[in-house]
Amino acid sequence: MIQQTMFIRKESFLHSLDPRTKLFLSIGLFLVGVLFTDYRVLMALFAGEVIILRVAARIPFSKLFPYLKLILPLVVMALLIWPLFQRTGTVLVSYWKVIITKEGIQMGIAMSLRLLSLIVATYLLLMTTEQRDLVLALVKSGLRYDFGLMLAIALSKVPALAGIALTIMDAQKARGLELEKGNIVEKVRKYIPILIPLIISAIRLAEALSIAIDSRAFGRGRRTYLRELHFTMKDALVTGMAVVVISVCMGMRAAGYGVMELP
Amino acid sequence: MISVEDLSFQYSTGESPVLSKVTLVVPQGGYLALVGPSGSGKSTLCFTMNGIIPHSITGILSGNVVVDRLNTREHHVHELAEKVGIVLQNPESQLFAMSVEEELAFGPENLGLPREEILARIEDVLTIIGIADRGRFPFSLSGGEKQKLAIASILTMNPSHLVLDEPTSQLDPRGRKSVYDVLDKLHAGGMSIILIEHNTEHIAERAQQVLVIKDGSVVASGSPRDVFSQVETMKALGIQVPGVAEVTYELHRRGIIQRIAVTLEDAVSLLENLRPKEFTSQSLKTESTLTRVGSSSPSSRTEPAVEVKNLSFQYGDVPVLNNVSLTIGHGEIVAIIGQNGSGKTTLVKHFNGLLRPKEGDIFIFGESVKDKSVAQLARKVGYVFQNPDHQIFADSVFEEVEFGLKNLSVPLEERAERVAAVLKQTDLFRYKDTHPTSLSGGEKQRLVIASVLVMNPQILVLDEPTTGLDLKSSRSIIDLVRALHQQHRTVILVTHDMNLVAEMAHRILILKDGTLAAEGSPHQIFSDEGLLSDNFLEAPQIARLSSRLGYGTCLNIEEFLHKLEGTL
């Protein structure tokens, strides 16, 4: 079954925050992750995010892990590739043309932790915020409503389109199409009989959707939002704290802290 | 009131008018049914009623559509939304929110209504459609629930007219019934209903007024009885009249009865007096000997084409098939029926290897499917999927059909020969260089059958081959399938269309909750009322008529007339 949303319904501090606050928080954490290159700082950041998720959102690591697995190949790649290219510094292993340095390993760890913390920063938002609140937050922060609606519809139609894609694949397989066989070029060509009907179906769906949306009085003028956003004291506090932390981080970074010295 | 005056319309991309000089009036609280073959302009007419035409879809419009004194030329769709709502065929293309509540709120939110009012309206419509969980993701609802939600999302704008374009054509019988129950409720509450529907049996029971449209013009109109009594005219127009109308027309023609009935109740009361009272019980007893007529080749006599042994299957943790065993004889026509979610598709997907048996096994002509690829099985089992648009991709009809042979690495000259032969058999040869997307619905259906047939499978699985097709197109599919069967092919029909089942099947398999609930001849199955109602199925109208009159279960007019004449 296709999961349509990462949202996990819980009664928690983070869930109760205004989606705009969470959006800001998420961007802030993202920024911190990009600022520093020291593996210790990034490790602290990653650990901090996982703790926030556990304590403030009551989402255990086990729920996060399946989503982390998705980027695991990238993380492992960062971990392996950085040491190979960082050839100066304290040499640990030197064999034939391969030189592995302490700095290289540290850099590998740092970059994989950076990837992890950036992704968890976005997950923090997606796992604690319903998609409609997210879209509403964007609209209330100045995004045009029709763009917000477009985003919301795109998100809601993912499972339907995935379902159509699976049906098309089955129909073409029943006509003898073997997707697994052949080299890369042949494999890509084999997706043409799947992509064409999928694109046509998507266009048809979009045409019908536009009629349905028009028929439901879209574009009448001032609209009500059934869902209200409440920016409370709590949100002000969290946002304030986030501003302070981000400023401090930027100051420290400007002063040269938290950066890995490479020889 | 909706009044359409002298309306003509041509799409800006079209070459000829789709509607010409259509005039009709639907009074407040009326019930109008629109019938006509595919491409006659019914859907276009619907789109003119809430201003989608000419505001969202442009073209050349003449004449007027006036909804409660608002001319649709002068008032935009969003103004008309509070007067008239429109529901389309495919629920998937009308739902776009992440929850039931949002879906229902979207319309009134756009109208700018106060929050309390919106919540009150949502509360009201939820009780009408019977969906309790307003947080549910619409995608996860059943087909019937989705369509009811689409209707409800219109209702929250409080329109007084509802236009529905084949709202149940993609639903299973249970979903169909639940949607029609909602429409009945709304109509009883004073809502006008304008309905496009192929099922004239349904229309005859409910509509006050029927309009027959062909090539964009109104060719007949009146009460259902007026219209559907003209059996020959309707047939010539390509419209399937109710089964009882056909029977009573034939009896009327022979001078046995005085008039034609179009509803089951009316037909029963009309024909009841013809029957000697004591006949009922006798006829039921002799039924088993009589009903062998027409059915042939029971599975035991021929070699098995498909054998399913103790098959179980789960999607994730959800059990879909539970220890299913069955045999389909070579040369049989078998119908697999049951509600959506009963496991029909999951079962037949095992026949050509799209799904692999995890528990149990399947044998095709005695060979296990376990070590065969889908491509290998494609030479033996042809699986024709439901929606042609979900597989047509080539630039010409010829290439479309050739695709399967290319995949099977058949040499070029042989390919050309085989494609040509199949195109001739499916009556598509004259379109061989045509772009497949420009074919009509019935032609597309024949094309997808051809593109599977070209691999020369001895077993043919057809998933809903007649759904959404008009009378003429479904006849052409039925004739084609008959011809294929006569070439000694095994045909497996997966369908909700009981008329198709009654007409074609030698044997029926009913699936329920992943198990084989029943199997038998159409006569056996369609006379078992308990079994049918347990599975939300309804026998063809003629079978219901004959059993109500005590003639046992008749599957077609000839059989019915034969029985009736025996008693006269």
pLDDT digits (tens, 9 = 90+) for A50-87: 999 999 999 998 989 888 988 899 999 999 998 888 88
- Domain positions in chain A are 13-130+230-254, 144-215
Tell me the two tokens of residue B475.
């006849």
Residues of A in contact with B77 (CB under 8 A): 214-215, 217
Selected residue of A216, A222, A223, A228 to mutate for chain B interface (largest B Cβ count, 10 A): A216
Selected residue of B78, B415, B455 to mutate for chain A interface (largest A Cβ count, 10 A): B78
Give B299-539's CATH code, choosing from 3.30.390.50, 3.40.50.300, 3.30.300.180, 3.30.428.10: 3.40.50.300
A23 with A137: CB under 8 angstroms?
yes
The candidate with the shortest Cα–Cα distance to B224, out of B238, B241, B236, is: B241
B199 with B2: CB under 8 angstroms?
no
The candidate with the shortest Cα–Cα distance to B82, out of B53, B62, B110, is: B110
Rounded average pLDDT over A124-141: 90
- Domain positions in chain B are 2-228, 242-295+540-568, 299-539
* Residue from the list A170, A216, A226 with its beta carbon closest to the beta carbon of B153: A216
SS3 B3: strand
pLDDT band at B276 (very low <50, low <70, confident <90, very high): low
* Residue from the list B139, B315, B404 with its beta carbon closest to the beta carbon of A175: B404
Instruction: Write b or e for each residue in B180-209: b if 16 or more Cβ atoms lie within 10 A of its Cβ, otherwise e.
Output: bebbeebbeeebbbbbbbbbbbbbbbbbbb
- State whether residue A256 sits within 8 Å of chain B by CB: no
pLDDT digits (tens, 9 = 90+) for B288-305: 433 333 344 444 567 899
* Residue from the list B50, B109, B316 with its beta carbon closest to the beta carbon of A224: B109
CB contact under 8 A, A197 and B139: no
Nearest chain B residue to A207, by CA:
B93
- State whether residue A209 sits within 8 Å of chain B by CB: yes
- Rounded Cα distance, B444 and B432, in Å: 12
- State whether residue A180 sits within 8 Å of chain B by CB: no
Q: What is the homologous superfamily of the domain B2-228 according to CATH?
A: P-loop containing nucleotide triphosphate hydrolases (3.40.50.300)
Residues of A in contact with B137 (CB under 8 A): 4-5, 156
Residues of B in contact with A161 (CB under 8 A): none
pLDDT digits (tens, 9 = 90+) for B35-87: 999 989 999 999 999 999 999 999 999 999 999 999 999 999 999 999 999 99
Q: At what angle do helices A102-128 and A39-55 cross, to 10 degrees?
A: 20
CB contact under 8 A, B390 and A171: yes
pLDDT digits (tens, 9 = 90+) for A35-55: 999 999 999 999 999 999 999
- Rounded Cα distance, B484 and B384, in Å: 14
SS3 B179: helix
What is the SS3 assignment for A175-195? Answer: CCCCCCCCCHHHHHHHCHHHH
Residues of A in contact with B382 (CB under 8 A): 174
Residue B279 has pLDDT above 60, yes or no: no
Task: Round the average pLDDT of chain A to a whole number and report it.
Answer: 90
Nearest chain B residue to A225, by CA:
B109
Q: Residue B336 is which amino acid?
A: I
Tell me the two tokens of residue B34.
């629109």
DSSP conformation class of B14: -
Q: What is the pLDDT of residue B567?
A: 73
